[in-house]
Chain A
Amino acid sequence: RKEVEQDPGPFNVPEGATVAFNCTYSNSASQSFFWYRQDCRKEPKLLMSVYSSGNEDGRFTAQLNRASQYISLLIRDSKLSDSATYLCVVNLMDSSYKLIFGSGTRLLVRP
């Protein structure tokens, strides 16, 4: 079983749609959670951290369910520029500070 699992997609949605991505992680000791965005042939960039109480940043809402070891990302009012691969990332926050990446969910927003 992969440490971080995501639906690879692609999700093909029209502009203005709402789309949700899910992610599960296997290590219950995981402490920090993130969503990164990666454009084709580019490096990942932090989209947002995910907090236990859930958090929102503009059109983006992230939620965490520790009991189910489940993380979600909701994108409202999709823009063409949202087309990218979204990576679910966890950090054990142990002495190694390693980030564990999911394989990503690809989003295509069409006009």
Chain B
Amino acid sequence: GAVVSQHPSWVICKSGTSVKIECRSLDFQATTMFWYRQFPKQSLMLMATSNEGSKATYEQGVEKDKFLINHASLTLSTLTVTSAHPEDSSFYICSAGGTSGFNEQFFGPGTRLTVL
């Protein structure tokens, strides 16, 4: 299957810090990438759909000014958690694919964010 990488794999930061997470599709071009968040013992929740060259589409309840998404190229999308607070501590996972002609979504290994 296709390979999706994420960086960093984990980050610990102080409250008020902004954190950037990168998601890369290594062996295919992804016009669409998805960002998820997963709290302990809960399901993956879609935060936003990232479209190359255009604005991301955010799910209801997700603050677009707090979770900035940039998809500048066909292989890279970034999620920036601005002014992170302890309640933002979570497992953030990106995926690519799953669009027309590419039914399966391939997930990155995730980024574990801990905000102190």
Contacts and interface: CB of A to CB of B under 8 A. Distances in A.
Pairing of A with B: yes
Interface of A: 4, 32, 41-46, 49, 87, 91, 96-104
A4 B46 CA distance: 14
Most chain A CB within a 10 A radius of its CB, from B57, B107, B112 = B107
B103 interface: yes
Contacts of B25: none
Nearest to B4: A43
B115 to A, nearest CB: 18
Most chain B CB within a 10 A radius of its CB, from A87, A96, A100 = A96
Interface in B18-47: 32, 34, 42-46
Interface residues of B, number: 24
Contacts of B46: 98-100
Interface in B92-110: 93, 95, 98-100, 103-105, 107-110
Given A99-B46, A99-B105, A43 B93 contact: yes
Given A43-B108, A43-B109, A45-B107, A97 B32 contact: yes
SS of B interface (majority): strand
B49 interface: yes
Contact of A91 (B44, B45, B49, B98): B98
Most chain A CB within a 10 A radius of its CB, from B34, B93, B103 = B103
Interface in B69-110: 91, 93, 95, 98-100, 103-105, 107-110
Nearest to A4: B43
Contacts of A97: 32, 49, 98-100
B43 A101 contact: yes
Given A41-B91, A44-B44, 5 more contacts: A45-B107, A96-B57, A97-B100, A101-B44, A103-B43
A43 B38 CA distance: 10
Contacts of A101: 43-45
